[in-house]
Amino acid sequence: MKASTKRLFAGAIVASLVVAACGDDDEESTPETEAPAATEAPAATEPMTSEPMTTEPMTTDGEGGGGAGGETPELASGNVFVTGSSTVEPISIRVGELANELSGGELLVTVEGPGTGDGFQKFCAGEADISDASRPIREEEAQTCADNGIEFVELEVAIDGLSVITNPNNSAIECLDVPGLYALLGPESEGFGSWSDANDLAAEVGAVQSVPFPDAPLVVFGPGEESGTYDSFVEFAIADLSEERLGEDNDFTRADYSSSPNDNLIVEGIESADTSLGWVGYAFFQAEGDRLKGIAVDAGDGCVAPTAETIADGSYPFARSLYIYVSTTAAAENPAVASYVDLYLSDEGIAKVSDAGYVQIPEDRLAATRDAWAAR
Amino acid sequence: MSLITPGAAGKTAAEVTRSQLTGGKRDTAGLVLLVLLLLCTLTTLLILGVLLQEVLVDAWPIMSERPGDFLTSTIGSDPATTGVWPGLYGSFIIGLGVLVLSVPLGVAAAIYLEDYARHDHKITQLILVNIRNLAGVPAVIYGVLGLTIFGTWLKGITGGSSVISAALTMAVLVLPVVIITSMEAIRAVPQGLREGGYGVGSSRWEVTRDHVIPYAAPGILTGVVLSIARALGEASPLIMLGAITGLLPETTLTGPFTALPMLIYNWSGRPDPVGGDIGWTNAAAAAGLTLLILVIFFNAAAIYLRNRFERTRLGV
């Protein structure tokens, strides 16, 4: 019987080898990634020249690195693999679609979003050309990259910011601090129907801004859990305190609020009640500014109102930079990677940041990013 | 009823006997049971109907506007233009892999365990216990196994997190179910059939080939139908293997891959764009409908074979 068992196993191995053989045939089509011939890319050139510059003008006075301007680049053909943060993923997807469209299907970009940490793990193992990140690379991650001989360049591409909002008629609340937001919106606030219900909890977690809260109806509107804005809000306002008080895996907001994937419905909700409270992405708040009142946020350094300036200079606490990390090793070997990043940083590419619901970085920082890329 | 010759006073013999035994009372318990059973059936059908209706209604805006485009386009950032092609390709290869790998392997193992191995032997017992337990192991665990073995150790052959790794993982996942259902089917083959074969001088393999397998085929194929439906519907091993849901312009056997369940899961959670008529819910439902049709396609093949074997067995 042992012999028969062996035969079965042998069958299994043979079967898997047959499949593997089929796979090998296919692999021959994949190495075009490294094909140096791709540099010529004759077919890819015409579509761009006919493409007019539609995006908003940006001063491209050519200071610093040459060729780091905003015009749409010529695209090489080949494959690019992008991994990393699911927050940055929507931008990379849109730029990838643009690359496919402009190159006539020659520049093929694959994008996945397992998360920033997982992304760096893959990236530093040499399994990805580009890693999206919602935070700067950690020292130990950079060390892994160095150990594996992966050289990279960090490029800031967008700002993920959000605004805590209320009705413009609400004059009682001008500023809230992180403990205050936790008391009003955190997992322990479930059932609070009035702002004053949160006073005990606010005192317990050490809120100082706008306390005690007034005795007024607390109606909450915000994006649902499926939204990246929800995740960002939890990370900025809830996660630290919920982990400290309730332990891990309690990083969510109260469940009893009106959630909507549609920002317009959130705005309508905020407008419908004088003492409402909610949050939206900064880009949307900026667009709808007069219908909403942005509440200043205090994360330990005093109240900072959400404005273009405070977001840009980094003083507004509920905003963070989004990055892409490009392997210069891969970019040198594979012209497709360089082409994709060229397109990412062009005016047309960086405009996708707004399409994905994020804030474009100010011009000086965009210039710095372009210079960093040109100087790789 | 009408076929039975009526007895005295228009009653059948069975009715007369029953009324004597029950003292002429109505069979209320029987009636209640009948109604209960009917209700259960209707509830099940209702749930299925609501499910189908939900999927069809949500999928309609996409499936009526651009069915061909939806099937052949790649994944995109807009539900109005996104397509399901990489997922369809991935799921088709997974289904094919399960058919090609786990069916021959599973049936062979079942024949061996049922007809060749000595049932009282310790090792056979051990193998049987293991197979039964493996059938109950959660799919995520198979995902970990697939990631380690096919995604990492055999990376040179499978290409890492590829559709081949996924197909192999799914084949391993459904193998215990195929073996167990095949064993049941083979066990149900009348012993007399085998003995008749031996009696006219057939060898063991000839009896297995000409009598046992054809007779057991309908039962085996029922197991196959269930297995394929499961392999096509599982998402958790694919999450472990790292299926792509962002952008996947190229479908290859050894490159990055995705499958329909992953797309359905991912699309259901995406925030809808402002102002569009077609949301991600519609795209997810359309992908669900595609998966449903794919499962029906695979199952139709198995059911066709089953009916053919059944006809042969009945000598029609």
pLDDT tens-digit profile of A284-314? 787 776 788 999 999 888 899 988 788 878 8
Query: What are the start-end ranges of the H helices in chain A?
Result: 2-27, 46-50, 89-102, 116-124, 139-147, 178-185, 199-205, 228-233, 239-246, 263-272, 282-287, 308-313, 328-333, 335-345, 347-350, 352-355, 363-374
In a domain, A303, yes or no: no
Average pLDDT of adjacent 10-residue blocks, chain B of 316 residues: 54 80 78 95 96 93 90 89 93 93 94 90 92 92 93 89 94 94 94 92 91 90 89 92 88 91 88 76 93 91 84 70
- Burial-class residue A48 by CB neighbours within 10 Å (0-12, 13-18, 19+): middle
Interface size, chain A vs chain B, as Cβ–Cβ contacts under 8 Å: 117
Task: Check whether residue A116 and residue A197 sit in a common domain.
Answer: no
Say if the Cβ atoms of A23 and B158 lie within 8 Å. yes
When CB atoms are compared, the residue of B105, B168, B246 closest to A89 is B246
Measured CA to CA, the distance from residue B132 to residue B126 in angstroms comes to 10
Task: Check whether residue A191 and residue A238 sit in a common domain.
Answer: yes
Task: Check whether residue A206 and residue A251 sit in a common domain.
Answer: yes
Closest-CA residue to A162 (of A320, A366, A363): A320
Residue showing tokens 């003995």: B195
Minimal C-alpha gap between A308 and chain B (Å): 23
Phi/psi of residue A86, nearest 5 degrees:
-75, -15
pLDDT tens column, B133-158: 999 999 999 999 999 999 999 988 88
- Please report the pLDDT score of residue B275 as a whole number: 66
From chain B, the residues in CB contact with A92 under 8 A are: 246-247
ipTM value, please give it.
Answer: 0.79
Domain-wise residue ranges, chain B: 8-65, 70-314
CA gyration radius for chain B?
26
From chain A, the residues in CB contact with B76 under 8 A are: 93, 97
Q: Compute CA distances A111 → A94, A360, B256, whole Å.
A: 10, 21, 10
In sequence order, which residues have a C-beta less than 8 Å from that of residue B224 and are 6 or more positions away? B99, B103, B178, B302
Compute the residue count for chain A: 376
Say if the Cβ atoms of A1 and B244 lie within 8 Å. no
3-state secondary structure of B203: coil
Provide the phi-psi class of A64: left if phi over 0, else alpha when psi is between -120 and 50, else beta.
left
Domain end position, chosen among A253, A271, A291:
A291
When CB atoms are compared, the residue of A16, A20, A227 closest to B271 is A227
Task: Check whether residue A154 and residue A172 sit in a common domain.
Answer: no
Residue showing tokens 């269930």: B226
Say if the Cβ atoms of A23 and B77 lie within 8 Å. no
Say if the Cβ atoms of A110 and B242 lie within 8 Å. no
Measured CA to CA, the distance from residue A53 to residue A66 in angstroms comes to 20
- Please report the pLDDT score of residue B132 as a whole number: 93
Task: Check whether residue A180 and residue A276 sit in a common domain.
Answer: yes
Task: Check whether residue A156 and residue A175 sit in a common domain.
Answer: no
Measured CA to CA, the distance from residue B89 to residue B9 in angstroms comes to 69
3-state secondary structure of A170: coil
From chain B, the residues in CB contact with A89 under 8 A are: 246
- Please report the pLDDT score of residue A6 as a whole number: 45
**Measured between CB atoms, does B157 come within 8 Å of chain A?**
yes
**Measured between CB atoms, does B162 come within 8 Å of chain A?**
yes
The class of domain B70-314 in CATH terms is mainly alpha
Chosen from B72, B73, B75, B77 to mutate, greatest number of chain A CBs within 10 A: B77
Measured CA to CA, the distance from residue A2 to residue B252 in angstroms comes to 39
Measured CA to CA, the distance from residue A48 to residue A104 in angstroms comes to 10
From chain A, the residues in CB contact with B118 under 8 A are: 1
- What would the two tokens of residue B23 be? 């003292």
In sequence order, which residues have a C-beta less than 8 Å from that of residue A34 and are 6 or more positions away? A333, A334
- Please report the pLDDT score of residue B190 as a whole number: 93
From chain A, the residues in CB contact with B100 under 8 A are: 15, 19
Do the strands A293-298 and A175-177 form a parallel or antiparallel pair, or are they unpaired? Answer: parallel
Measured CA to CA, the distance from residue B237 to residue A366 in angstroms comes to 41
CA gyration radius for chain A?
25
- What would the two tokens of residue A51 be? 């493409």
In sequence order, which residues have a C-beta less than 8 Å from that of residue A147 and are 6 or more positions away? none
Minimal C-alpha gap between A266 and chain B (Å): 12
**Measured between CB atoms, does B253 come within 8 Å of chain A?**
yes
Closest-CA residue to B224 (of B87, B132, B117, B110): B110
- What would the two tokens of residue B44 be? 């099940």
Measured CA to CA, the distance from residue B236 to residue B42 in angstroms comes to 31
In a domain, A13, yes or no: no
Task: Check whether residue A224 and residue A285 sit in a common domain.
Answer: yes
Asked if A113 contacts A85 with a C-beta cutoff of 8 angstroms, the reply is yes
Structural domain containing residue A361:
72-160+321-376
Minimal C-alpha gap between A309 and chain B (Å): 27
| Residues lower than pLDDT 70 in chain A | 1-69, 289
From chain B, the residues in CB contact with A94 under 8 A are: 77
Closest-CA residue to A128 (of A327, A272, A319): A327
Chosen from A94, A111, A231, A355 to mutate, greatest number of chain B CBs within 10 A: A111
| Local structure of residue A208 (DSSP, 8 states) | -
Say if the Cβ atoms of A105 and B249 lie within 8 Å. yes
Q: What is the DSSP string of A254-300?
A: -S-SEE-S-HHHHHHHHHH-TTEEEEEEHHHHHHTGGGSEEEEEESS
Closest-CA residue to B222 (of B77, B50, B107, B96): B107
Query: What are the start-end ranges of the H helices in chain B?
Result: 13-22, 28-65, 67-72, 85-111, 122-134, 139-146, 155-158, 163-187, 191-199, 204-207, 213-233, 236-241, 260-268, 280-314
Say if the Cβ atoms of A11 and B105 lie within 8 Å. yes
Measured CA to CA, the distance from residue B67 to residue B62 in angstroms comes to 7
Say if the Cβ atoms of A8 and B112 lie within 8 Å. yes
Measured CA to CA, the distance from residue B220 to residue A266 in angstroms comes to 55
* Total H helices, total E strands in chain A: 17, 12
The pTM assigned to this predicted structure is 0.74
- Please report the pLDDT score of residue B4 as a whole number: 53
SS3 track for A98-150: HHHHHCCCCEEEEECCCCHHHHHHHHHCCCCCEEEECCCCCHHHHHHHHHCCC
From chain B, the residues in CB contact with A262 under 8 A are: 272, 274
Task: Check whether residue A179 and residue A155 sit in a common domain.
Answer: no
Task: Check whether residue A193 and residue A275 sit in a common domain.
Answer: yes
In a domain, A353, yes or no: yes
- What would the two tokens of residue A28 be? 């021959």
Minimal C-alpha gap between A76 and chain B (Å): 16
Say if the Cβ atoms of A15 and B247 lie within 8 Å. no
**Measured between CB atoms, does B165 come within 8 Å of chain A?**
no
- What would the two tokens of residue A240 be? 């630290």
- What would the two tokens of residue A151 be? 């050289």
Do the strands A219-222 and A276-281 form a parallel or antiparallel pair, or are they unpaired? Answer: parallel
When CB atoms are compared, the residue of B108, B160, B164 closest to A19 is B164
- What would the two tokens of residue A165 be? 């909002």
CB count within 10 Å of CB B130 equals: 11
Measured CA to CA, the distance from residue B69 to residue B49 in angstroms comes to 28
Measured CA to CA, the distance from residue B232 to residue B93 in angstroms comes to 10
Task: Check whether residue A176 and residue A225 sit in a common domain.
Answer: yes
Asked if A165 contacts A279 with a C-beta cutoff of 8 angstroms, the reply is yes
Cα nearest neighbour of A226 on chain B:
B269
CATH of the domain at A252: 3.40.190.10
Phi/psi of residue A112, nearest 5 degrees:
-130, 160
Minimal C-alpha gap between B313 and chain A (Å): 28
In sequence order, which residues have a C-beta less than 8 Å from that of residue B3 and are 6 or more positions away? none
